[in-house]
């Protein structure tokens, strides 16, 4: 997909452009910056570094503990249904399944527009383009299907297959496939849903085989990790092979390092 609107200010309304619950959305303040300047510098010699292996629960911990820039914790969880009481029960079920409250971007002007109304945090935007290019060099055409989502849009996604009046059983069953608003990693602007052109199930596509080989080495190289890995335990939804989260190469390399280790990369 051609990044037609790269760095351009958002003038039209898109599905993801809605006012988040916390903080105003001001599209006119989106900074116009050439794509070439999105890239964060990678650690020296990254191509020759061996990436550590992670279990599913370590991948989850890595995203939760990574110190990602431009995030602001949410002070209140957004409504799900019309009933505050039922919402409380759905949230309790969600937490029981392992969903966690997720932050929103602190400053929306620092987000970057990829294409078709898909926005990501700046380092994730650059890392997505790098991953997509690397995959293309290996013969796989990756598509970006979802990126940043605000609370209102996540609520729509969550309720889409259901009909009002909502039943608790149906809402609880929905948690197998979707986070309720306030609990999606997409809120952070650091999560992507991807697919391979021409393949309906990403988990059985040749591109998935490439990206997941050797404990997801080809994702890690660009700072990405699986969002809901196959052996992730209680992590919210059933495993989602198509979703990846950006944590950055340094966080991946330094996860197992003690805080006062001698590796200069990991000591600051």
Site for Zn ion, rule CB under 5 A: 193, 243
The structure tokens 């964060």 sit at 40
The residues with which 193 forms a beta bridge, in sequence order, are 146, 243
Residue 188: CB minimum distance to Zn ion, A = 11
Helix (H, G, I), strand (E, B) or coil at 230: coil
Residue 191: CB minimum distance to Zn ion, A = 6
Residue 207: CB minimum distance to Zn ion, A = 16
Closer residue to Zn ion in complex, CB, 125/253:
125
Closer residue to Zn ion in complex, CB, 186/221:
186
Closer residue to Zn ion in complex, CB, 87/243:
243
Helix (H, G, I), strand (E, B) or coil at 251: helix
Closer residue to Zn ion in complex, CB, 66/179:
179
> Could you tell me where the beta strands, DSSP code E, fall in 99-203?
104-105, 111-115, 118-121, 142-146, 191-196
- Structure-token pair, residue 10: 């958002």
d(CA 138, CA 117): 27
Residue 31: CB minimum distance to Zn ion, A = 26
Residue 226: CB minimum distance to Zn ion, A = 11
Q: To the nearest 5 percent, what fractions of the chain are helix, strand and coil?
A: 35, 15, 50
Closer residue to Zn ion in complex, CB, 243/250:
243
Closer residue to Zn ion in complex, CB, 38/228:
228
d(CA 62, CA 68): 11
- Structure-token pair, residue 254: 């330094």
Provide the 8-state DSSP code for 21: S
Residue 35: CB minimum distance to Zn ion, A = 24
């Amino acid at each position: 997909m051609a990044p037609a609107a790269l760095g351009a200010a958002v003038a039209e309304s898109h599905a993801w452009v809605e006012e988040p619950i916390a903080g105003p959305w001001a599209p006119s303040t989106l900074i116009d910056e050439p794509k070439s300047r999105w890239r964060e510098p990678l650690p020296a010699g990254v191509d020759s570094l061996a990436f550590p292996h992670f279990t599913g629960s370590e991948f989850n911990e890595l995203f939760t503990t990574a110190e990602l820039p431009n995030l602001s914790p949410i002070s209140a969880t957004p409504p799900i249904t019309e009933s505050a009481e039922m919402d409380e029960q759905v949230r309790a079920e969600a937490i029981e399944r392992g969903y966690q409250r997720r932050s929103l971007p602190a400053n929306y002007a620092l987000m970057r527009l990829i294409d078709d109304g898909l926005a990501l945090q700046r380092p994730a935007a650059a890392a997505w383009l790098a991953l997509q290019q690397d995959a293309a060099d290996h013969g796989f055409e990756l598509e970006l299907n979802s990126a940043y989502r605000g609370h209102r849009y996540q609520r729509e996604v969550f309720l889409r297959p259901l009909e009002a009046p909502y039943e608790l059983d149906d809402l609880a069953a929905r948690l197998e496939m979707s986070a309720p608003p306030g609990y999606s990693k997409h809120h952070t602007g650091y999560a992507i849903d991807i697919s391979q052109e021409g393949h309906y199930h990403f988990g059985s596509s040749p591109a998935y085989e490439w990206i997941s080989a050797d404990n997801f080495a080809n994702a890690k190289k660009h700072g990405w990790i699986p969002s809901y890995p196959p052996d992730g335990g209680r992590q919210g939804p059933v495993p989602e092979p198509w979703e990846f989260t950006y944590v950055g190469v340094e966080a991946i390399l330094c996860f197992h390092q003690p805080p006062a280790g001698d590796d200069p990369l990991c000591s600051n």
